[in-house]
Amino acid sequence: MGDMIEIFKAAKINSQWYGVKRDRTQPSPDWIRIGGDMSLHRTLPVQNLLKGCLLKADKTVNYFLNPTDWSKKLDNTASNLTGADGNVMIRKTAPTYWSFTTEGNYDVVKCSTYPLAGFYPIDIWNIGAYEAKLVSTKLSSVKGVLPTTSRSLTSFRADARANGAGYNQIWNEPQNELDWMFIVEFATGNFQKAVDATLTVEGYKKGGLGDGVTTANGTEWSAFNGYNPFIPCGSSDSLGNGSGEVATVVANFGGAGVDRTFKVPRYRGVENFFGHIWKWVDGISFNHLSDKREIWIFDDPALIADNTSVGARLAGYLPLTDGYVKTLLFGVKGDMIPASVGGSSTTYFCDYLYTPALGSGWRALISGGGAYIGAYAGPFYADTDYVASATATYFGARLFAR
């Protein structure tokens, strides 16, 4: 009897995964839900590990936030999101386990909170809830300020690491995982689908995060503040640990007395998941040679450096031309770098790839799109034109800690 109980327990644990699959030859951006236990698509145990918190300098949690009201701590006493109590972060509170496989034409993604056979682990991490602000010499995530821009990838890396060991700006692995969490939750690669709070008949999530802050008129933005940030950090805090969009009015954006309303998107507490300003994503370098575009990915953030392949893996090659993303590298780590183009704003992966001239040499990655980029925007939006030392008023960052 004891052996039978153990066999039953093992079988139960081995079914504790859920995920999605997609035929890469088909244009729809939507994925098919799959699972060892389909009820997990309703309970979403992997995504529910994400919780808003205040993180102290030593990377321990000062306190968690009320999941529906960030003006309060979890114990309902008042919180302080200005930096006095630490950085406002989204903490993944336990390790997660992922599997990325290819079966015929299908890319198959599975996730679990259990260390199942064939799944690889991703440890606990903390991602800035807000676009990052440079406070003194340290990259920070705090409410009520405009994010810092006009700094290079290289400078933001140093700013993040000034917080201490284990701090970085957002880099490939956690950004990748957050993107896959969304796709598994909403079963689509079109992050700009309209927000839809109703559930499917099965009780699953649907819709997306809306247009995001991507609908600005470029001429108005330039006249307003020279393409600098204009959405204060924390504008979507009414959603707490949730997902969706919050309308934010920017006074005089369209000229004196002409206000404009923007929808600020949020995924599981992470504000401006895409749009508003481009965000540097560290740990990915592109070497644009005369006949190909190499993609080098650092799996260890401590080894990240500019303009080199030392310590990185050759993940594949970018397409030779620009265009809407059609397929991803994928591979055993689910790399979300474009492998081919030929889609549109509503098909395949719905976001755009920019590349420089062949032979341009080493370049870095900015992602997400800016406030006037429109349908090109989204987490798959990849601009590989810029060197790591480039700066612009609309290039920003996000804090990370492990």
Q: What is the mean pLDDT of the segment spanning 175-180?
A: 98
User: Which H or E element spans position 6?
Assistant: helix 2-14
Q: Please say if the pLDDT value at position 7 is more than 80.
A: no
Residue 238: closest CA among 47, 71, 48: 71
Residue 4 has pLDDT above 90, yes or no: no
How high does pLDDT run on average in the chain?
96
Cα end-to-end span (Å), the chain: 44
pLDDT at residue 9, rounded to an integer: 54
Average pLDDT estimate for 140-144: 98
DSSP H/E element including 233: none
Sheet holding 313-317, edge to edge: 313-317, 293-297, 284-288, 361-363
Tell me how far apart the alpha carbons of residues 326 and 335 are, in angstroms, rounded to a whole number. Answer: 14
Asked if residue 213 lies in contact with residue 272, where contact means CB atoms within 8 angstroms, the answer is yes
Tell me how far apart the alpha carbons of residues 282 and 399 are, in angstroms, rounded to a whole number: 11
- Tell me: pLDDT of 156 over 70: yes
Band of residue 242 on the pLDDT scale cut at 50, 70, 90? very high
Write the CB contacts of 199 (distance below 8 Å, at least 6 apart in sequence).
205, 206
* Beta-sheet pairing, 133-135 with 138-140: antiparallel
DSSP lists the bridge partners of residue 101 as 108
Q: What are phi and psi of 181, to 5 degrees?
A: -60, -45
Residue-wise pLDDT for 112-128, tens only, equals 999 999 999 999 999 99
How are beta strands 206-207 and 378-383 bridged, if at all?
unpaired
Q: % helix / strand / coil in the chain, to the nearest 5?
A: 15, 35, 50
Closest CA to 324 of 378, 252, 275: 378
91-103 residue pLDDT tens: 999 999 999 999 9
Q: Is 215:253 a contact under the CB 8 Å cutoff?
A: no
Mean pLDDT of all residues in 316-340: 96
Q: For residue 6, is pLDDT > 80?
A: no
pLDDT tens-digit map of 271-322: 999 999 999 999 999 999 999 999 999 999 999 999 999 999 999 999 999 9
pTM of structure: 0.95
Residue 12: the pLDDT is: 73
Percent of the chain residues past pLDDT 70, beyond the cut: 97
Closest CA to 159 of 125, 135, 131: 135
Which two tokens mark 117? Answer: 């056979």
- Band of pLDDT at residue 2, cut at 50, 70 and 90: low
Alpha helix stretches (DSSP H) within 136-293: 153-161, 172-186, 218-225
Q: How far apart are CA 394 and CA 142, in angstroms?
A: 19
Where residue 170 falls (left for φ over 0; alpha for ψ -120 to 50; beta otherwise) is: beta
Q: How many CA atoms lie within 13 A of 322 on its CB side?
A: 11
DSSP string covering 93-114, please? -S-EEEEEEEETTEEEEEEESS
Instruction: Determine the 3-state secondary structure of 181 from DSSP.
Output: helix
- Per-residue pLDDT band for 10 (boundaries 50, 70, 90) equals low
Residue with tokens 């819709």: 207
